[in-house]
Structure 1
Amino acid sequence: MKRTIITSMLLSLILLSSSCKTTRDAVAAKSKPSTEKSSKKKPKFKSYSKVITSDAVTDDGLFKTHQVDEDFFYEIPTDLLEKDMLWVTRIAQIPSNLGGGYMNAGSKTNQQVVSWQRFQDKILLKVKSYSEVALDETAAINNSVKVNNYEPTMYAFDIQAFSKDSTAVVVNVTKFFNSDVPSISGLSPRLRKQYKVRSLDKSRSFINSVKSFPENIEVKQDFTFTASEPPSNGSVGSISMQVNQSMILLPEVAMQPRLYDPRVGFFTVGQIDYSSKALKADEKTYIRRWRLEPKDPEAYARGELVEPIKPIVYYLDPGTPENLKEYIKQGIEDWQKPFETAGFKNAIIAKDAPTLEEDPEFSPEDIRYSVVRYVASTTRNAVGPSVSDPRSGEIIESDIIWYHNHLRSYRNRYLLETGAANPSARTLDTDAKEIGEMMRQVIAHEVGHALGFPHNMAASYAYDVEDYRDGEFTQKNGIAASLMDYARYNYIAQPGDKNIRFVRQMGPYDHYAANWGYRVIPNATSPEQETATLNGWIMQKANDPVYKFGRQSSRFDPQSQTEAIGNDPIKASTYGVKNLKYVALNLPQWTSQKTDNYDDLEELYRELLGVYSRYVGHVVTNVGGVNEDLKKPTQSGPVYSTVDKKTQKESVEWIKNNVIETPTWLVDKKIVQNINPDGYFDVLRSVQVRHLNSLLSHDRIGRLINSETVDTDYYSALDMLQDVRKAVFSSSKVDIYKRNIQRAYVDRLNYLMTETPRRSTYNVAQSDVRALVRGELKALQSTLRSKRNASSSKVNRYHYEDLLARVDLILNPR
C-alpha cells in the first residue's frame, strides 16, 4: 500500500515537471526569434541598385562615374585595381596675384603616380614612387625594395557596393573631393603660410563636375579657403579657386627609355635600380621625350620620312588674340624640321581649339590635350612645363604658358639691345610683323622645353663675335647654334652693318639634339643596346662647338652664360656697351618726346641699367673662370680647364675701365632729372657695387687659388686682389661716385675677412683668403694715408680718415 502511494506521488511530480517545462518552452518560443531568422547577418555591402539608383547620372569611361543627388561615385573595374595612373593637379581658375603673378589658370601644382588597391572592405588610393626600383622584378631584392619604400595612402574609401556582375567596386568620392587633401588642394605649404590660410570652408566648397573619358577622369573642384592675408580682395578674408584633377591610365607597357648622356641636353627622370649586378645601387637616368613611333617601321628603317603613329598636337587657347595665332602656330610647327632630321614628318601640329559646338567636352585642363595657354596677366614671362611618366620619361602632355605682358619685355629689349644698329627698333610702336617674329621664336623656345630640351647656354659661344656683324652669316645662322640658348638679340652688330638678323631662330644644334633623342634605333630592344649608336652620334660632332651642350648651372663657365652671345665676352660686351651709349643718348627722343610723358622713359632707363649689368657680368665670369667641356674618358683633354691668365687680366682691366671708372654716361641729366627727385648717385653705386662684390667673392677667389694646383702660368688670387685695389684707388679725380665705390670696396674686404659663406667648395677659414685680404688691407692703409695727406678737398680728407678708421677696425676689432 505504502509502495503504491509513493509510486503515485513520483508519477505526479514527473507529470508536473513535464508540464512546467512545456510551459517554459512555449513562453521561450514566443520571446525568442526562430533559429532560421537569427542566423541571418546584416549584409556588409548595399545592393548596387540601392547605391546607384535610377536617378543616377552616369558617365562611362575609364571608370564609370555616377552622380546621385549631391553625391559622386566611382565604379572601379577590378581589373584596373593595382594599375598605375598619373594624377595631375592643376589650377583651372585662379584669383588675382596668387603666387605673385607666376601662377595662372593651367599651372600644375602637383603630379604623382597613384593606384587603387583593395584592402579588406576598403579601397585605398596609394601614392607610388619610381625613384627606387628593382627593374628585374624576379630578383630577390625586389621584396626588400617594396618593404623599404612603403607607399603612403592618400585616402581610404569604404566599399559601398559591387556592380551587378561583380566586376567593379563602387566607392563614394564626395567627401574625398570636398576635403582639404594637401597633395591635391592646389595650395602649397608655402602659399598657405604666406597668405595665412586657416582652413577649407566646406560651406563654400563643392565638386563642380566629374567627367570620365576612355583613358582619363577629369574632376573640377571649387575651393574656398579662409585666409587672413589673401593675395587679392582682402576684405573677403578668403581665397577662392577652381582646381582640376586629372587621372590618366599609364600604358601597361612603358615606353622604352633612352639613357641620358650629359653631353646632349635633355630634361630627365631618375631611378635607383637595386637589382643591378653592379656592387651598388645603379643610378639610371632617362631623358624625357614624347613617344614617337613610325607608322611604317620598314620605310623608316630605309631612311624615308614617316609620319608618327601619334603626332604631338598643340591646341591654341580659345582666349588667344586673333592677330597672334599665326605666329604661335608657326612657333609650334618650326619644330617639324628638326623632327624631320629625326626621320619623322608632320610630327608636331598646331590647331585651333574646337568650339563648344564642335566638341562640348573639350577642356584645356583635360590631360588628353596639350595647349598653348594665353594668360591675362601683367607677368612678363613664358614657360613650357610638361607631364611625364616617371617609369620611362615619356612626356604625356604639356602646356605652354604665355603671359600677356611678355611682349612688352621683348619690345623693350629689342629697342635697348638693337636700337643703335637697327632703325626699326627705335620706337615704342614696334612693327607688328617684327613683334610677331619675336613671339614666334619665344613660343618655339618654350615648345622646345616641352619637348624635353633644357637651355643650352653654350650655343651662342659657337659663333665668332665678328660673325654677328656679317649680314649673310646672321641671316643663315641666326645668333646662336640653338634656339634653346638665352640669346635673344644681336647686340653686337654696329650702326652701318647691313642685312643683319637681330632676332634668334632655330639652329643646327636643335636638329642634332632632336635626332639624338627621338630617332628610333631599329632592333634595339633595351636602353643599353642603344648606347653605342648614341655615343657614335656624339663623337661624330664632338670637336665642333656648334654641337656643344652647355649647362645653365655652370655659373663659373664663360662659355655658358645666360643672355650672352659670341665667343669673346670682352669683345662682345665692348660692342654692347658702345651700342647702349648710343641708345641712352637717344632714349628721351624715342620715348618721352613721342608720348608726352616720362613713364616709358623711366621703364626703359631702368631696364637699360639691367642690360648694361648683364654685359658687365659676362666679363666678370672670365675672372676665376673655368671652362666646362663635358666628355667621356675616351675623349682627349680635361673636362675642366682654367681660363688663360691673359684673358683674366684683360677682363679685370675692362672692368676697371667700364665699371670702376665711373660710367657717367649712365647718369644722363635729360633722363634722371625727369624720372626721379633724388638718388641719382645711388642708382649708379648699386650697379657698380654688384659687380665689385661679385668679383671679390669667396668662390671666385677660391677658383683662383685652385688654379695654382693645376696650372703653371696662372692668374693668382693675389694678382686679382692687387689689380682690383689699384683700380679702385688709382684715380686722381675723387668725386661722389669714386667715394661710393671705395667705401664699397672696404666693406667687401671686411666681408671677406669676417664672414663665411653658407655654401663653399673649400674651407675659407683655413685657406689663403684671409691672409691675402689682411695683406691687402695693410697695403691699403699706406695708400689711404698718402691720399689723405695729399688731398686738398676737405670732403675727401674726411673720406680717407673714415676709410682708415674702418680698415683699422677690421684689422683690430674691438
Structure 2
Amino acid sequence: MEKRPGFLTFYWDAKKGKIWLEISRFNQELLYYPTLAQGVGSNDIGLDRGRLGQEHVVQFQRSGNRVLLIETNYGYRALSLDSLERRAVAESFAQSVHGGFEIVAEENGTVLVDFTPFLLQDAVGAIQAIAQTRQGTFRIDPNRCALYLPHTKAFPQNTEFEATITLTGDAPGPYLREVVPTPTIVTMRQHHSFVQLPDLTAPDAYKPRIMDSRSGYFGIDFFDYASPFSQPISKRYIARHKLQKKDPSAAISDPVEPIVYYMDPGAPEPIRSALMDGAKWWNQAFEAAGYRNAFQVKLLPPDADPMDVRYNLVQWVHRSTRGWSYGASITDPRTGQILKGKVTLGSLRVRQDYLIAQGLVGSFDTNGADTTEAVQMALARLRQLAAHEIGHTLGLPHNYAASVNSRASVMDYPHPQVDIVDNAGNPKLSLANAYTTEIGEWDKVAIAYGYQHFPKGANEKAELDKIITNYIRRGLKYLSDQDGRPEGGAHPQTHLWDNGTDAVAELNRVMQIRHIALNQFNEKKIPVGTPMANLEEVLVPLYMFHRYQVEAAVKVLGGLDYTYATRGDGQLVTQVVPAQTQRQALSSLMNTILPTNLVLPEPILKLIPPRAYGFNANPREVFKRRTGITFDPLGPPEAAINLTLRLLLNPERCARLINQQALDPQQPGMSELVSALMGQAFGMRLTGQYNHSDQIQLLLRHKLVEGLIGLATNKDTDARVREVAHNGLMAIKKKYLRGRSTEVEYKTELQYRTSNRNPGYLHWMIRQYEQNPQQAPVATTALVAPDGAPIDPGQEWLDGCSWH
C-alpha cells in the first residue's frame, strides 16, 4: 500500500479501493468537519461548492479491538481546575460517537483501521437538504461511491479526505431537474477534514475575548457550571482570528503572523481584481486598531489545496440561478478562535447588478453604447460584496443600522444609491455614488473591539467598555438581523437594502427615481439584436425599484426606536416613533398603491411581445401573469399592491398599532390604517372608462377585501386585530357597496365593472365571510414580485449570509 504520512497518517490500498488509517493519537482532541467539495449547483437546494459543515471536537478512544471516534460536548462544561468538578459535568450530558472501527493490525501502540466506510457517508447532509426542499427522496448507492484521491492528502497540521458520493432516488423535483444531467442520479464530492487544534497551554496561546451585546460579533456560547450561583451560568466568547503584535509596546506594529486571504483564481478579470480590491479594505480597519500589514489578500498559489485549513479562501461559485453569497468560518468550539475563513461568492450576482444599472442609465444606440457607468457600478458592488462576506469570516454579523450614519459599515446590505441630476430641466440618473469605496467607521470600531491589543497590566474589560462608550458618544449604531426584517420588524432606522437617515424621505425620493426611470424606458435599454421580449427582464428591477424602501418605511408605522442598551451606558432603551412621523410614513406608503403610480405607460406595453420559440424566460426573472404567453399589464401592479398590503396588514404590526394607541391616544392605531386603505381603495371614483388605471383601482379593492378577510379569520392573530379587520369589512359593505345588482341591468361589461353602485363580487365575498367565517372565500393566488433580494438573488436564506 502507498503510505501518506502527516497529521493523521493513512495508507491507500489501490487494489481494494480502501483507505487504512493509522491511529496513535488516542484521547487527544482534534477538530473534524465535513465540506462539500463539488456542489449540486442549485441556490434553492443550497448544496454549493465549498459549503462548510459543522465543526466537531473529537478524539479516538480505544476499547478492546475497537476504536470509537467520540465528540466532546463543549456546550456544557466547567471552567475549573478541579478535575472532579469537570468530570461531574462531562458525565451529566450526552456525547456523540461519529464512527466505530475494528482494529485489523497493531504495532508499538499504533493501530490500523479501515476508514473507508466512514468516508463514504453523506457527511454534509445532502439527502436531508434535498428532502427539505422537496426535491425527492434519495439514498446513497454504495456501488457508485468511491474515494477521490486527487484531494486526499496529509499535511503537517491537517489530513484531508475526499470521496465521490452518489445519491439515487425517484421523482426528482424541478430544482434537481434543472441542474443534474440525470436527475435521479445526483453525484457530488464530499470532503472530510481532520485538523490539529491549537495548544491552549502554550505561552502564546489564543486568549478568548468576552462577547458584549453591543460589540457586533458572532461567537460561541456555553454553560459554565463552575460559575458561582450568583453569576450567570451562560458564557459567551466572540469569534475572531488569532492576531498578535510583534512589538506589544508599540502603538502600531507588524503582526507575528498576518491574516491572509487567498482569492480563487477561477474568478475571471476584471471581477477578480475588484474582489481583491474590496477584500483589502479590511486592512484599513486593522491599521486603525494598531496593526501594520495585518490583513493581506493574495491569489491562491497553483499548488495550494483550497481545502487545506491553512488557507483562508474567497471562492467563486457557479449556480444555475443567481443566489446568496456567504461568509463562513471554521471555529474552535472551545474558545471561539477562527481557524479558517471561507467566503462563497455566487457568480451570477454581478450580472444582475449590471442589469439594474442597464435599466437605470443604459442607452444602446444603433452603433453601440457606452456601458462604462453600468460596468463600474457592477464592479463597485463586487468590491463591497467581497468586503461584506469577508467581514463575516472575521467574526462580524450584519449591522443593518449603519446606513443612517453615512454608510458606516460594509456589514449592512447596501441598496445602490442613485442620484438625480437636473440637466436643464431634463432630470437624469447618475450611479457615480452607487456604492461606498472604503471600509466604514463602524467596521473600524468592531475590529478594534475584537482585535486590538491592550498593554500588559491593562484591564481588558475596561478597555473594551471604552471602545463601546466612544462609539455610542459618536452616534454610531449597531442593530442586526432580527431588527432589520420587514415582516414584524419595528425599528424605524434598521433595514435591509435602504439608504439615507430617514426611511420615509428616502421612499419619496426612490419613487421619484422610479418615475424618471420608467418615463425614460424604451427599446434602447437592450442592445441591437437582442429579442424585444428581453426588455421585461430590464423592466422588472425598475418597476419594483421601490420595494426595499417600502419595507423600510413600513417599519416606521407602529415603530419602536431602541438600542442594545445595557444598564448605565446611557443609550436609549425604547421610544415609540412620534405620531407625526408615523402618519408621514402612512401617507408615503399610500402613494405606492396609487393607480397613477402603478400604471405602466402604454408605450412600454407595446414593446414586450411573447417569447420566441426556444427562448423561454427564467420564470424567476419576469413578472407573474394570468394572461398566458402575453405580457399581463396588471401583473406588475398586482405585485406592487401585494407587497405594500402584505406589509401594512402584518398581524404583528397591527397589534403594535393597537397597543401604541391604547397607551397614547394621539398615536395612529390600526383603525386609522384600515380607514386610510379603505379611502385609497374605495374613496376614489372610477373614471367610467375601461382603462388600465380603473383596473388597478378595482384590483386594489379586491386585494384589500381579501387581506382583511385573511386577518379576520386568522386564529393566530390578536383578537383585537381580527375585530378591527372585521369592522373594516362591515364598513366597506355599508359605505361603499350599497347597491343591489338584482335591481340594475347593465348593457355592457364596461358599465357593470365601473359602476360604483354595484356591489358585485366584493359584496358576495363579504356576505360569504359573514355567513360562515371559517369557510370564507379563498383569496385569489397572489401574483408576487419576481425574486429580488438581495438586489441580486432570489431565495431568502434566513440571514442572507451565514456563519458557522
TM over 0.5: yes
Q: Which residue of 1 aligns with 2:478?
A: 549
Cα distance between partner residues in 1 of 2:131 and 2:591: 49
Among residues 681, 706, 713, which one is paired with 1:754 in the alignment? 713
Matched, 1:275 2:233: no
TM-score normalised per structure 1: 0.81
- 2:767 corresponds to: 808
Letter in 1 for 2:74: Y
Distance 2:236 2:464 in 1: 15
Kept in 1, the 8 Å contact 2:361–2:430? The answer is no
Superposed, which structure 2 residues align to 1:446-595 within 5 Å?
446-463=389-406, 480-495=407-422, 501-505=433-437, 506-523=439-456, 530-545=460-475, 547-554=476-483, 555-592=489-526, 594-595=528-529
- Mark the structure with the bigger radius of gyration: 1
Q: Deviations over 1:390-435 (max 9, x none)?
A: 1111111122222222211211233456779xxxx99667565554
Compute the RMSD of aligned alpha carbons: 2.9
Matches of 1:594 and 1:430 in 2, distance apart? Answer: 19
Give the match for residue 228 of structure 1.
170
Q: Secondary structure at the match of 2:357?
A: helix
Aligned CA distance change for structure 1 residues 394 and 125 (closer, same or farther; 3 Å): same
Shift of 1:218: 0.3
Work out whether residues 248 and 453 of structure 2, in 8 Å CA contact, stay in contact via their aligned partners in 1: no
- Please tell me whether the aligned partners of residues 379 and 403 of structure 1 are also in contact (alpha carbons under 8 angstroms): no
SS in 1 for 2:545: helix
1:301-323 CA deviation, whole Å, 9 max, x = no partner? xx1x2122221112222322143
Comparing 729-738 with 671-680, greater Cα deviation is found at 671-680
Q: Does 1:777 pair with 2:729? A: yes
Report the Cα distance in structure 2 between the residues aligned to 1:705 and 1:136, rounded to whole angstroms.
Answer: 51
What is the percent sequence identity of the aligned residues? Answer: 24
Matched position secondary structure for 1:125: strand
| Aligned-residue offset at 1:492 | 4.9
**Partners of 2:730 and 2:374 in 1: how far apart?**
59
Quote how far apart the aligned CAs of 1:291 are. Answer: 0.7
CA deviation digits over 1:683-733, x for unaligned, max 9?
312321221132122111111122245546322222222222222221122
Aligned amino acid, residue 583 of structure 1:
A
Give 1:569 shift.
1.5
Distance between the aligned counterparts of 1:739 and 1:680, measured in 2? Answer: 14
Distance 1:625-1:434 versus aligned 2 partners, 3 A rule: closer
2-structure distance, mates of 1:637, 1:592: 51
SS for the counterpart of 2:321 is: coil
- The residue aligned with 2:791 is none
**In 2, are the aligned partners of 1:269 and 1:286 still within 8 Å (CA)?**
yes
Alignment of 1:380-779 (within 5 A): 380=322, 381-416=324-359, 430=373, 432-463=375-406, 480-495=407-422, 501-505=433-437, 506-523=439-456, 530-545=460-475, 547-554=476-483, 555-592=489-526, 594-636=528-570, 638-671=572-605, 674-675=608-609, 677-708=630-661, 710-711=663-664, 713-733=666-686, 735-757=694-716, 764-765=718-719, 768-779=720-731
Match of 2:266 among 295, 298, 319: 319
Code of the residue aligned with 1:536 in structure 2: it is K
Answer whether contact 1:263 1:548 (CA < 8 A) is retained: no
Distance in 1 of aligned mates of 2:333 and 2:444: 26
What letter is aligned with 1:482? Answer: S
Q: Which amino acid aligns with 1:319?
A: G
Is 1:124 aligned to residue 68 of structure 2?
yes
Query: Residues 157 and 196 of structure 2 are in contact (CA less than 8 Å); yes or no, is this contact kept in structure 1?
Result: yes
Partner of 1:201: 141
Deviation at 1:785, TM superposition (A): 3.8
> Does residue 138 of the first structure (1) align with residue 138 of the second (2)?
no
Q: Distance in 1 between matches of 2:382 and 2:418?
A: 18
- Bigger drift between 194-203 and 308-317 goes to 194-203
Q: Which runs of 5+ in 2 are unaligned?
A: 424-428, 484-488, 611-629, 688-693, 774-804
* Structure 1 residues 173 and 374, CA gap change in structure 2 (3 angstroms): same
Query: How far off its partner does 1:188 sit?
Result: 4.4
CA distance in 2, matches of 1:121, 1:517: 47
Q: 2:49 aligns with which of 105, 109, 113?
A: 105
- Give the corresponding residue for 1:94: 39
The 8 Å contact of residues 222 and 234 in structure 2, kept in 1 or not, is answered as: yes
Matches of 1:67 and 1:175 in 2, distance apart?
14
Question: 8 Å contact 2:362–2:371 — kept in the other structure?
Answer: no
The answer as to whether partners of 1:411 and 1:428 remain within 8 angstroms in 2 is no
Task: Quote the Cα distance in structure 2 between the aligned partners of 1:616 and 1:632.
Answer: 31
Q: Which amino acid aligns with 1:436?
A: L
Deviation string 1:204-241 (CA, Å, 9 cap, x unpaired) is 21122332111110001111222224524464732111
Deviations 1:184-212 (A, max 9, x none): 25514132564445432222211223321
SS in 2 for 1:611: coil
2:784 aligned residue: none
Evaluate the alpha carbon distance shift between residue 162 and residue 91 of structure 1 in structure 2; reply closer, same or farther with a 3 A threshold: same
Q: Which has the higher helix share?
A: 1
In the alignment, the residues of structure 1 paired with residue 606 and residue 246 of structure 2 have an alpha-carbon distance, to the nearest angstrom, of 63
Conserved? CA contact 1:415–1:427, under 8 Å: no
Mapped partners of 2:522, 2:22: distance in 1: 68
Q: Distance in 1 between matches of 2:356 and 2:180?
A: 34
CA gap of 1:204–1:609, structure 2 versus 1, over 3 A, is same
Secondary structure of the residue aligned to 2:293 is coil
Partner of 2:240: 289
Query: Unmatched 5+ residue regions in structure 1?
Result: 1-55, 464-479, 758-762
The Cα shift of 1:583 comes to 1.2
Helix, strand or coil at the partner of 1:807 = helix
Pick from 368, 388, 408 the counterpart of residue 310 of structure 2.
368
- Tell me the amino acid that sits aligned with residue 67 of structure 1: W
Q: Deviations over 1:428-470 (max 9, x none)?
A: 675655543332222112111111112211111124xxxxxxx
Per-residue CA deviations over 1:90-138 (Å, capped at 9, x if unaligned) read 12223444x6374332122343222111223321101233222212252
The answer as to 2:19 corresponding to 1:66 is no
Q: Distance in 2 between matches of 1:636 and 1:712?
A: 29
User: 1:498 Cα deviation (Å)?
Assistant: 9.1
Alpha-carbon offset, residue 775 of structure 1: 2.7
Rounded Cα–Cα distance in structure 2 between residues aligned with 1:710 and 1:544: 32
Partner of 2:778: none
Structure with the greater relative contact order (CA < 8 A, sep ≥ 6): 1 or 2? 2
In the superposition, the TM-score normalised over structure 2's length comes to 0.82
- Over 3 Å counting, the alpha-carbon distance change for 1:202 and 1:441 in structure 2 is same
| Aligned mates of 1:130, 1:267 — CA distance in 2 | 17
Distance across 2 between alignment mates of 1:650 and 1:329: 43
Structure 1 residue 83 corresponds to structure 2 residue 25: no
Q: Closer, same or farther in 2 for the Cα pair 1:701/1:175, shift >3 Å?
A: closer
Q: CA deviation at 1:243?
A: 1.2
